[in-house]
Amino acid sequence: MGDATEKGGRHPAEGSVEHLGELALVDLISNLCAQSEAGNLDLVGIGDDAAVVAAPDRRVVVSADMAVAGRHFRTDWSDARHIGVRVAAANLADIAAMGAQPTNFLLSLGLPRSTEVSWVLDLVRGVVAETMRAGAVVAGGDVVGAQEIIVAGTALGDLAGRSPVRRSGAVAGDQIAVAGRLGWAAAGLAVLTRGFRSPRALVDAHRQPEPPYQAGVQAGVSGAHAMIDVSDGLLLDAARIARASMVEIDIESALITVAEPIAAAAAAYNLDPLQWILGGGDDHAFLAAFAPDAPLPDGFTRIGQVRAHTSAMSAMADGANPVTGWVTVDGKTPEGSAGYAHFS
Amino acid sequence: MGDATEKGGRHPAEGSVEHLGELALVDLISNLCAQSEAGNLDLVGIGDDAAVVAAPDRRVVVSADMAVAGRHFRTDWSDARHIGVRVAAANLADIAAMGAQPTNFLLSLGLPRSTEVSWVLDLVRGVVAETMRAGAVVAGGDVVGAQEIIVAGTALGDLAGRSPVRRSGAVAGDQIAVAGRLGWAAAGLAVLTRGFRSPRALVDAHRQPEPPYQAGVQAGVSGAHAMIDVSDGLLLDAARIARASMVEIDIESALITVAEPIAAAAAAYNLDPLQWILGGGDDHAFLAAFAPDAPLPDGFTRIGQVRAHTSAMSAMADGANPVTGWVTVDGKTPEGSAGYAHFS
């Protein structure tokens, strides 16, 4: 913990970041992150101008993500540790969605002066825990002052010699399959929005998603044709695969299991549970296209198929709805809003 | 430029990001960044869940940085392009300070709804230009809504089989040398703070630093013992090398050239120019330790030497001043504040 020991009998995690000061805060954060660094000691970790991390494959998979308090998370609905888990999960899932093993995470924090040090350390604990759950280590970052809490992450990953699984590789006839939860986080958000804190399983799913990283990696190992992390909703993310691959994707609603907590919450609010399952993001499930006869890796369930992109559907393409013309449910164009847009 | 062409005769770069919408903004930004991607086309660029970039060395050097409007840059003092250059330079310099060639940059932006699209695109143009100047390409990023403008970057680099140049390798007897400007950005900031816009050379140095990336790389090639990017001031960053290496560093003021614009501005404001040269950051010069008899790479000038860390100096170590006990100027402990601290 270096220089950041107690001053005048007060524990450094008490009080605000302004009181503690930047250098001592960085020491405390670095110490937490160092827990995840075992096994990587031959390389350079936190404390130099940059980290040096292994890239055994001669390529590195990399993705950056930014989350802002009040927009991507709410400090009154989620505790700091859960926020750390969520932000790290969103970023690390992007790596696994390429079929790559997450290897490293970098964390940059913008913090108002009044932020409690203990809150910051809990957030870092969540980031470290989720990074380790993904099989990766925290390799560095930055801490600066800001008006609102900003959490920016960069995740790195390794392909172990495989081709990356892109959005653009789906072909007509492919199976469409999903690994992980659909709609749980959205249902949890609906519960919280209504002022409730239960069903706990849904609220927890919103607070702390559990991307099935290894299923993403295994999809890469088994030669998935295309894959995406479902972060903005099944329909919208399926449309991204369809557009990139110039195909249509049909989801069969009969293949989608409505989990009990979602069914119960939908009944309680008199809503169609498919609204959450088809439109809800933030669970970070993996949606992938596999060859028609390919056995699906553990964790994946078939929910539809890829069809040739017909000129008829093309003609229906609608600028206002990014799903129309690319994704159908039971052969029909889905209605309603289908995803999340920033600035609106 | 894809879908982001003119709508109703209005050019998309007119108006705010809220008016344009996130997807169209990302299209415009991606198009600008793609300019830097030539030569990297065998790998995966912007538009998938993650990018795939080359890491020929089987290791990757990586560093993350965050800059906040009003703290790290001022939109009334610098135009957007300069801000983009500054943020990218600060991040890319961290890579070259390890002796590594910068290879990639990821850019995450937090933007208030009212931000002008043209301003954002100019910032991205600055990021792309500086990234290309460093010999790297923009590989991805994120755009989100925020209350204030936040620019978060992650830079990657390649060591080409060399050992990273860390802060901790300086040994007694080493030459201390610097490549790049010292005090120019600080003098430029002093000029701007006083409400002036000239001398232009100093103001430009503040707005748009020019880290000598290739000198950093060459320091690595020539086996520098230790190196740091001077981002918080010569004394403070020299103290970081000294602490990490458990040595003392003595700067010889006679070896430091006071450039004419700095001398002139210091005379005009009745200040000691050494205050800027020893204490000013943000020029992103490279400060390195080389073996006593080593020829210095192009761009480096000797400004001092490394001494054994004496117990006498150690006893002087002062928690309130991170320089005391580690760095001397002409054999004496420097006085006054020596660097920048966040949250204060």
Q: Do B66 and A142 touch (CB under 8 A)?
A: yes
For a pLDDT cut of 90, what percent of chain B falls above it? Answer: 67
Neighbours of A155 (CB within 10 A): 29
- Looking at the fold, whether B98 and B212 belong to one and the same domain comes out as no
Contact between A206 and A282 (Cβ < 8 Å): yes
Q: Which residue of B has its CA nearest to A159?
A: B52
Domain boundary residue, one of A127, A158, A189: A158
- Looking at the fold, whether B39 and B74 belong to one and the same domain comes out as yes
d(CA A234, CA A336): 13
What would you report as the CA-atom Rg of chain A, rounded to the nearest whole angstrom?
A: 21
Q: Which residue of B has its CA nearest to A286?
A: B49
Whether A214 is covered by a domain: the verdict is: yes
Give me the CATH number covering residue A175: 3.90.650.10
Residue B284 has pLDDT above 90, yes or no: yes
**Out of A47, A145, A341, closest to residue B22 by CB:** A341
CB pairs A-B closer than 8 Å:
246
Distance in Å, alpha carbon of B114 to nearest chain A alpha carbon: 9
Structurally, chain A folds into a number of domains equal to 2
Each residue's pLDDT tens digit, A12-52: 677 899 888 887 888 888 888 876 665 454 467 677 889 99
Q: Do A140 and B64 touch (CB under 8 A)?
A: yes
Which chain B residues are Cβ-neighbours of A55 within 8 angstroms?
55, 57-60
Please name every residue paired with A155 in a beta bridge, in sequence order, or none if there are none. A63, A105
Q: Do A66 and B145 touch (CB under 8 A)?
A: no
Each residue's pLDDT tens digit, B84-98: 999 999 999 999 999
Distance in Å, alpha carbon of B16 to nearest chain A alpha carbon: 10
Whether A344 is covered by a domain: the verdict is: no
Each residue's pLDDT tens digit, B225-242: 999 999 989 999 999 999
d(CA B296, CA A300): 58
Whether A107 is covered by a domain: the verdict is: yes
Higher pLDDT, B23 or B265: B265
- What residues of chain A score a pLDDT lower than 70? 1-12, 35-43, 45, 311-320, 336-344
- Looking at the fold, whether A125 and A180 belong to one and the same domain comes out as no
d(CA B234, CA B285): 9
Whether A342 is covered by a domain: the verdict is: no
d(CA B13, CA A316): 28
pTM confidence score: 0.90
B241 residue type, one letter: I
- Looking at the fold, whether A171 and A154 belong to one and the same domain comes out as no
SS3 sequence of chain A: CCCCCCECCECCCCCEHHHHCHHHHHHHHHHHHHHHHCCCCCCCCECECCEEEECCCCEEEEEEEEEEECCCECCCCCCHHHHHHHHHHHHHHHHHCCCCEEEEEEEEEEECCCCEHHHHHHHHHHHHHHHHHCCCEEEEEEEEECCCCEEEEEEEEECCCCCCCCHHHCCCCCEEEEECCCCHHHHHHHHHHCCCCCCHHHHHHHHCCCCCHHHHHHHHHCCCCEEEEECCCHHHHHHHHHHHHCEEEEECHHHCCCCHHHHHHHHHCCCCHHHHHHHCCCCCEEEEEECCCCCCCCCEEEEEEEEECCHHHHHHCECCECCCCCEEECCECCCCCCCCCCCC
* Cis amide bond preceding B199, omega within 30: yes
Whether A338 is covered by a domain: the verdict is: no
**Structural domain boundaries enclosing B206:** 167-329
Residues contacting B35, CB < 8 A, separation 6+: B128
Whether B11 is covered by a domain: the verdict is: no
**Out of B56, B110, B341, closest to residue A150 by CB:** B110
- Looking at the fold, whether B45 and B126 belong to one and the same domain comes out as yes
**Out of A68, A145, A343, closest to residue B18 by CB:** A343
- Looking at the fold, whether A36 and A61 belong to one and the same domain comes out as yes
Give me the CATH number covering residue A40: 3.30.1330.10
Closest listed residue to residue A304, CA positions, set A327, A333, A280, A279: A327
Phi and psi torsions of A177, nearest 5°: -140, 160
**Full strand arrangement of the beta sheet holding A101-111:** A137-145, A101-111, A150-158, A59-68, B51-54
Q: Do A71 and B144 touch (CB under 8 A)?
A: yes
Each residue's pLDDT tens digit, B125-144: 999 999 999 999 998 888 99
- Looking at the fold, whether A110 and A194 belong to one and the same domain comes out as no
Whether A296 is covered by a domain: the verdict is: yes
- Looking at the fold, whether B143 and B174 belong to one and the same domain comes out as no
d(CA B202, CA B258): 13
Tokens of A23: 């250098």
**Out of B66, B95, B341, closest to residue A50 by CB:** B95
Whether A2 is covered by a domain: the verdict is: no
Domain boundary residue, one of B158, B176, B207: B158
Domain boundary residue, one of A123, A158, A193: A158
Which chain A residues are Cβ-neighbours of B111 within 8 angstroms?
343
- Looking at the fold, whether B144 and B35 belong to one and the same domain comes out as yes
- Looking at the fold, whether A113 and A227 belong to one and the same domain comes out as no
- Looking at the fold, whether B94 and B188 belong to one and the same domain comes out as no
**Out of A25, A63, A107, closest to residue B50 by CB:** A63
Q: What is the mean pLDDT of residues B175-204?
A: 92
- Looking at the fold, whether A90 and A212 belong to one and the same domain comes out as no
